[in-house]
Chain A
Amino acid sequence: MTADRIRSLRRGLFTLIAVAAAYEATAKSGYFAPVLMPPLGTVARTLLATILDGSMVLHAAATLYRLLLGFGLAVAVGLPLGVMMGRFRPVENFVLPLLSALMPIPSLAWVPVFILWFGLGDTVTILIVFYAALFPMLLNTWTGVRAVNPIWLRAAGAMGATERALFWKVIVPGASPFIIAGLRQSFLRAWIAVIGAEMLAASDWGLGWVIFDAKEFLNTDVMLAALAVIGLIGFVTERLVFGSLERATIYRWGMARTAKT
């Protein structure tokens, strides 16, 4: 097992080094203009410099602020509405047709309309993030609530659980694998949407804007540095935040991981 792991790691490392070397060789060969394809050393130096002077940190902070606000709004709306859709038939009948009409529209298609309605700036980006993150949240919560075993509900009712206890002690834990899968998908969508919206809705801060702005001035090193930061944030949230959230809730409660979609 361990020898196996070491061999996997060695092979993985080998590819990464090979790709980096190939990139470096192409960059140094002068076949492409160095402005378009800076060597990795330059990218690393730019990354370090922008982090040290604080600009990259501020850009990342602006992006995260929009991301979390939009995502938070989507959860605040999507979770209760999803639960209501699962519990009450009329709500489901009303929301579901609208949902299936809106869902196939990519969130970025709304950017130009929102720019006209709300002007350039934070509002547009936050609303786009909200739109993108809402649907996975809503759908997963709805499915989760419907997937709660009716026997559990009847058993809890028979043992005299109030509506509130029923909600907190039965429905929420029962639907939790789906809800957490929904949070995860929502966050992923939100993360994609925030970068795109920042590019199109040109505010002054944000990682998406940095990349887009760097194109105008052919600052490919800045672009690649921002890409690295974006990749890092995506990786950290996916692995650390959602991984530990799953461990702390559904694994601990013994709910099998059924909602992996």
Chain B
Amino acid sequence: MHDLAELHDTVTGSPAVDAGRFRRAARNAFPFVVVGAMWEAVAHFGLFPPRLFPPLEAVAAALVRLTRDGILPHHVFDTLVRLGAGFGLAASFGVTIGILMGRSRRAEDMLLPLVSIAAPIPGLAYAPLFLLWFGLGNFATVLLVAFVAAFPIIYNSWTGVKAVKDIWVRSAYAMGADDRRLFRHVILPGALPYIMTGLRLGLAQAWRILVGVEMLAAVPWGLGWLIFGAREFLNTDVMLAGIAVIAVIGLALEKLVFQPLEAMTVVRWGMMT
């Protein structure tokens, strides 16, 4: 996903490069202008009722109105708290289980069948079951998000630990490392690129599932609920505003959370470029 952005990244400085930068920005904006103009044309032409197909200025107005009223920030906040709680649970359990599976043959043999049975079932399929068992609301939502996000994390941590070169482990032992130092200085850095990939996939998974679960779990606040609830009143402008916010958060999670985190760890340690 990040090569998308990197493709258009370059250093700036001289006026010539600045002009190039401007051209690039214009080139990136051009498709949005075309699609936006098409949208406006369809919306104003009256092909569809404006309630169902609002022009972009109506969507923007809804966005501003909801933000000013403090409704939208409240929805966003609740969604982010759930995402954080669910993902935090998934990360702590997932990494632990994954590393355990990678280090101990016994744990691998015992846990792998469970993981490979539960993983191919789409997360939302568990939703009604979780709602029945744990009741409607936050608890079931967070638990389901954690459950679903844990699989890619477990799987990647497991692969990562197994991918640590045997020769590194043996040379560390030969140089007299004890188990704890072996883990901290060899296994963990060696497996980290994979663990990062797992966390990133897990977060993406958590994000996708959370929006769906919020629609099903009848929670009072949350972006998924905002969109789904707006359907009742044909508030298409509110829905599209909600989707725009979802897109921004999704993009921000990737750009502001994971890329800096990777730059700070695996890239700095020279494990990955």
Q: Which residues of A come within 8 Å of B, CB atoms?
A: 7-8, 11-16, 19, 32, 36-37, 93-113, 115-117, 139, 143, 191-192, 195-196, 199-200, 207-208, 211-212, 214-215, 218, 220, 223-224, 226-227, 230-231, 234-235, 238
Contact = CB atoms under 8 A, between A and B. Distances in A.
Contacts of A218: 132
A101 B227 CA distance: 19
Interface string B249-265: 11101100000000000
B121 interface: yes
Contact of A235 (B120, B122, B227, B236): B120
B4 A230 contact: no
A215 B128 contact: yes
14 contacts: A11-B109, A14-B110, A15-B113, A15-B114, A16-B114, A16-B117, A93-B27, A93-B30, A103-B1, A106-B211, A108-B212, A109-B224, A112-B231, A214-B128
Interface stretch (B84-92, B168-176, B239-247): B239-247
A101 B246 CA distance: 11
Given A199-B216, A211-B128, A224-B129, A230 B251 contact: no
The CB with the most chain A CB atoms within 10 A, among B123, B124, B230, B236, is that of: B124
Interface of B: 1, 3-5, 7, 27-32, 34-35, 48, 52-53, 106, 109-114, 117-118, 120-129, 131-133, 207-209, 211-212, 215-216, 223-224, 227-228, 230-231, 234, 236, 239-240, 242-243, 246-247, 249-251, 253-254
A8 B207 CA distance: 35
A196 B124 contact: yes
Main secondary structure of the interface of B (DSSP, over half): helix
Given A16-B113, A116-B52, 11 more contacts: A11-B106, A16-B114, A105-B247, A106-B250, A108-B224, A109-B242, A116-B239, A117-B52, A192-B123, A215-B128, A234-B122
A101 B254 CA distance: 12
Given A15-B114, A106-B208, A235-B120, A112 B230 contact: yes
Given A105-B246, A235-B120, A111 B215 contact: yes
A176 to B, nearest CB: 20
A233 to B, nearest CB: 9
